[in-house]
Amino acid sequence: MSVSQTHLLYAVLTSHNDIVLSRLAPFRDSSKPQKGPQIPARREEKATYDFPLTDSLRIPIDLESIYQYTSGFWLCNDREHHNARSVTFNIAAFCRLAAEAAGAKAVTDMVKINESLNRVFLVRFDTGYEAIAKFPTSLAGPPHFATASEVATIDFLRRQLAFPIPRVLTWSSRAESTDVGAEFILMEKAPGCLLSDIWEDIPRYEQGIFAKTLGECERKLLDLSFTHYGSLYYKNDVPVPLRAPTLLEGLSPDDELNSKFCIGPIARRDFWEAEREHMDINRGPCKFLLKIFPFVYF
């Protein structure tokens, strides 16, 4: 294959946390000059962070571009949309943790590559290594549960089904548990390019090979028989009352998977968004729904 399959597989297998476009498309400002007298914009000093390239050379970066949504604005409720998509964190603390996890001395650059429900960065290190950092916004899903479920799901699919998903280097699902002050996932950068960029240019037979390979991966997912409806977690990340007693049909209680993973509350954002976040409802794990919907959402 001339294209890496890991990007698309990761998007499919963890789609509830994937980067998607806003329901209200941002309206970009027109570059046309405005008529009438022009009022000079107020000049404000912006907070910056210096990324070290060498011991003596440092590259400053505007922190607003890191923390805030900068891809456009909305005609209606612009401030509310931007506030919901803002993510603030201790960038120096994150760079220290990231460098340690990547076996490097320092982070030399962070380039924002996507934003909406999650703030996603390409992180570069002094060793030349590159990784992907992801910070969920308040729209991405329930605090703790969405991040914890995504990390556990990635590990489960790599461990149980040998899916070629990038490995998680370090992560935190509890904003208060580290000096970073925000939830985050740092993972390997998948090699290759976006399938959508080259799909029309690759031979038809290679398109068929890719489609067949993706179908085989989906078949492996469908062959899994979970015992409850909910989301996948590490056991230590879910309170005992919210853990399902079993994981997979026919799995021995002594199996390593049972000691490491469990099914807990559903982490899909549509179960938690808006006023639903404050509703006292049962979000799983639930067993009787499997009689109607014989699958489990990751």
pLDDT of 192 reads 87
Q: CA angle, corner 209, sides to 203 and 213, nearest 5?
A: 150
Q: Which of 127-136, 194-203, 242-251 has the lowest mean pLDDT?
A: 242-251
* 122 vs 46 pLDDT, higher one: 122
pLDDT of 236 reads 93
**pLDDT of 224-275, one tens digit each?**
888 888 999 999 999 999 999 888 888 877 778 888 999 999 888 888 877 7
**pLDDT of 17-30, one tens digit each?**
333 223 233 333 33
Q: Residue 122 corresponds to which tokens in the numbers above? A: 């390409």
Q: Report the distance separating Cα 79 and Cα 5, nearest Å.
A: 38
Region class of 72: left (phi > 0), else alpha (psi between -120 and 50), else beta: left
User: How much is the pTM?
Assistant: 0.77
Select 6-12+47-188's CATH number: 3.40.50.150, 3.90.1150.10, 3.30.200.20, 3.40.50.720. 3.30.200.20
Instruction: Return the domain boundaries, the chain.
Output: 6-12+47-188, 224-291
pLDDT of 66 reads 87
C-alpha distances out from residue 150 to 238, 265, 266, Å: 13, 13, 11
pLDDT of 170 reads 97
pLDDT of 289 reads 57
Pair 179, 90: CB distance under 8 Å:
yes
**Helical packing angle, 6-13 and 145-160, nearest 10°:** 130
